[in-house]
């Protein structure tokens, strides 16, 4: 069962990270970047939703988990963009 959970995290993380990168940056981050953003987003989204609303975060392979991962990935990518944007503009 543990292997199936990891596969679910990778698939949902990849989809959520890809969707979030399209919304935040306008293009994908590559397959590995999208998966990492989605998995970190699932963790962040789960923590935020459970802290504010008392609901479960990532619960497996379903639409709720995709939504939680997407919201978290958008937050993560906005934070990354905030810090990377200031560094990129200082090079010009």
d(C-alpha 46, C-alpha 22), whole Å: 21
What is the average per-residue pLDDT within 13-17? 84
Chain-wide mean pLDDT for the chain? Answer: 75
- Confidence at 39, pLDDT banded by 50, 70, 90: confident
**Residue 92 pLDDT greater than 50, yes or no:** no
d(C-alpha 75, C-alpha 57), whole Å: 15
Cα torsion 40, 15, 68, 76 to 10°: value is 40
Q: What is the pTM of this model?
A: 0.73
Residue found by looking up tokens 């998966």 in the block? 35
Left, alpha or beta for 27 (phi > 0: left; psi -120 to 50: alpha)?
beta
Tens-digit pLDDT profile for residues 49-67:
778 877 665 566 678 778 8
């Amino acid at each position: 069962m543990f292997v199936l959970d990891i596969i679910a995290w990778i698939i949902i993380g990849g989809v959520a990270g890809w969707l979030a990168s399209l919304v935040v940056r306008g293009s994908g981050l590559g397959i590995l970047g999208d998966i990492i953003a989605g998995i970190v987003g699932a963790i962040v989204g789960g923590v935020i939703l459970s802290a504010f609303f008392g609901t479960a975060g990532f619960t497996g392979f379903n639409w709720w988990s995709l939504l939680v991962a997407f919201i978290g990935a958008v937050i993560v990518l906005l934070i990354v963009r905030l810090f990377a944007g200031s560094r990129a503009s200082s090079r010009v």
